[in-house]
Amino acid sequence: MCIFCRIAAHDIPSSIVYEDDHYLAFLDIAPVTKGHTLIIPKAHYDDFTMTPGTVIKDISEIARKLTKHYDAVLRPNGYNFISNAKEAAGQSVAHVHFHLIPRYDEMDGLILTFKGKEKDKLSEALKIDLKVK
The domain that contains 29 carries what CATH number? 3.30.428.10
Rounded Cα–Cα distance for residues 19 and 58 (Å): 12
Residue 99 included in any domain: yes
Number of domains in the chain: 1
Q: 31 in a domain, yes or no? A: yes
Question: Is residue 132 situated within a structural domain?
Answer: no
Query: How many Å apart are CA 66 and CA 64, to the nearest integer?
Result: 5
Domain presence at residue 27: yes
Full-model pTM: 0.82
For the cut 90, the answer to whether the pLDDT of residue 56 exceeds it is: yes
pLDDT of residue 87: 72
pLDDT at residue 114 is higher than 90: no
pLDDT over 70 (residue 44): yes
Catalytic choice (10, 22, 69, 97): 97
pLDDT above 90 covers what percent of the chain?
62
Respond yes or no: is residue 44 known to be catalytic.
Answer: no
User: 131 lies in a domain?
Assistant: no
Query: Between 49 and 90, where is the model more confident?
Result: 49
Task: Note down the domain range covering 112.
Answer: 3-126
Q: Is 121 helix (H, G, I), strand (E, B) or coil?
A: helix
